[in-house]
Amino acid sequence: MPAPKATGIKSSSTTNYNEAVSDEEMDKIRRLQNGSDVRGVAMEGEKGRTVDLSPPAVEAIAESFGEWVINGLEKEKGRVAANVRVSLGRDPRLSGASLSVAVFSGLVRAGCLAFDMGLATTPACFMSTLLPPFSFDASIMMTASHLPYTRNGLKFFTRGGGLTSPEVEEICDKAARNISGNIIKERVNHPLHYDTPLKGFQIIVNAGNGSGGFFTWDVLDKLGAETFGSLHLNPDGRFPNHIPNPEDKIAMALSRAAVLENSADLGIVFDTDVDRSGVVDKEGNPINGDRLIALMSAIVLREHPGTTIVTDARASMALTRFIVDRGGQHCLYRVGYRNVIDKGVRLDKNGVETHLMMETSGHGALKENYFLDDGAYMVVKIIIEMVRMKLAGSDEGIGSLIKDLEEPLESVELRMNIISEP
């Protein structure tokens, strides 16, 4: 599930610290260059030397080399280079296996196809770029020549021969910048560096003893929310309290009671595997079925005016009016969440902008989340909207977004078995 975009670093001292660390890591990568090769200490055991040719460093260098190869081919051919193939050979050093994985990972990240030659010679790696049946676009030989077993390195080849020292310098410099950026992201991602945007919000989670308990301690608690009063967070395959289902009346009733008892701002109900969800607003009103679709429609239409929203045919005409009144288009399709999502994907591919697909069962998919039915992601969107409203000075809960939705006095779903003759 993609993470929320807006977070903040607490102080300029943290920023300065990250910059100092990133500069140090960049220097480490650059120091690995040894003329036209890359060499370093790959294993513990060498007195007075620490490991500097680490898997992350090798991955960054391999990724940079892959990008360098692709860019060179595109300049040469004047078009996009597809299916760029790079081979990797290695000598029998003990560090070869683990560093090979790092090379493959880096090449794939760059968009290359990687081929493992296993135990190989340096001439064989170069010739693999020239001779059929391989004729690879480039090759890497992992070796440190005559140096001790604790060392290892990389030699680079294209069909034009081995890379020059300036070319390897360019590759290492790019790798240094990339790994520096990754380190900053990792450090900024540390919980100590985040604001707590949910501080002051009380959110109840009912995981129904399914898989969704993590959302309480791994997401809400870390973002500052108060989650006291949450229900059935520990997994229990017997489901002793109720069926983990946002449509289940017992699940919603217990969640409603917990929200009211704790004066919570929001209640969340997950199904067993967290691909569906429902919510309860601060007034204790269950939001599922048409109401959940309407809530998500209000959020999505603010972000993507005029978009089409696909639902199953069980949705009401009142929901259609709600969507149309907000400038959206409503496409009703056959029952079945997979049918609904697939219809949305087809519409979007055919030029009909479709950002939301939802079934009244609670299955909902968003274009921004790879058209995946993801109950946790859906809830995150609702929480973000709740925070946005609070920051805008509104004391109304998320239920206010659907106050204009017309609702029938009674709604019953009947499921009938049809007996047909063959």
341 within a domain of the structure (yes/no): yes
pLDDT one digit per residue (tens) for the chain, 422 residues: 444 333 333 334 444 434 444 566 678 888 999 999 999 999 998 888 899 999 999 999 999 999 999 999 999 988 888 899 999 999 999 999 999 999 999 999 999 999 999 999 999 999 999 999 999 999 999 999 999 999 999 999 999 999 999 999 999 999 988 775 554 445 445 555 456 889 999 999 999 999 999 999 999 998 999 999 999 999 999 999 999 999 999 999 999 999 999 999 999 999 999 999 999 999 999 999 999 999 999 999 999 999 999 999 999 999 999 999 999 999 999 999 999 999 999 999 999 999 999 999 889 999 999 999 999 999 999 999 999 999 889 989 999 999 999 987 777 777 778 787 75
255 within a domain of the structure (yes/no): no
**What confidence score (pLDDT) does residue 176 get?**
87
Long-range contacts of 128-132 (CB under 8 A, 24+ apart): 128/87, 128/89, 129/87, 129/157, 129/158, 129/159, 130/159
Q: In 3D, which of 209, 204, 202 has the Cα closest to residue 229?
A: 204
16 within a domain of the structure (yes/no): yes
146 shares its domain with 23: yes
Q: In 3D, which of 191, 400, 369 has the Cα closest to residue 282?
A: 400
Largest CA distance in the chain: 84
DSSP 12-32: HHHHHHHHHHHHHHHHHHHTT
**What confidence score (pLDDT) does residue 192 get?**
53
**What confidence score (pLDDT) does residue 418 get?**
79
Strands (E) across 91-240 are located at 113-119, 138-142, 151-158, 161-162, 203-206
**What confidence score (pLDDT) does residue 194 get?**
58
Among the three residues 144, 164, 188, which one is the final residue of a domain in this structure? 188
Q: In 3D, which of 21, 27, 2 has the Cα closest to residue 184?
A: 21
> Cis bond leading into 197, ω under 30°?
no
Question: Is residue 49 a contact partner of residue 95, using CB atoms and an 8 Å limit?
Answer: no
183 shares its domain with 316: no
CATH value at residue 48: 3.40.120.10
**What confidence score (pLDDT) does residue 320 get?**
97
156 shares its domain with 302: no
178 shares its domain with 297: no
184 shares its domain with 60: yes
172 shares its domain with 315: no
24 shares its domain with 166: yes
58 within a domain of the structure (yes/no): yes
61 shares its domain with 184: yes
Among the three residues 139, 165, 188, which one is the final residue of a domain in this structure? 188
158 within a domain of the structure (yes/no): yes
199 within a domain of the structure (yes/no): no
23 shares its domain with 169: yes
Strands (E) across 108-177 are located at 113-119, 138-142, 151-158, 161-162
Q: Show the domain range for 303.
A: 290-373
Among the three residues 352, 373, 394, which one is the final residue of a domain in this structure? 373
Q: In 3D, which of 399, 330, 343 has the Cα closest to residue 371?
A: 343
48 shares its domain with 162: yes
Q: How many domains does the chain have?
A: 2
**What confidence score (pLDDT) does residue 6 get?**
37
33 shares its domain with 179: yes
DSSP 38-105: EEEE-SS-STT----S-HHHHHHHHHHHHHHHHHHHHHHHTS---S-EEEEEE-S-TTHHHHHHHHHH
16 shares its domain with 157: yes
407 within a domain of the structure (yes/no): no
230 within a domain of the structure (yes/no): no
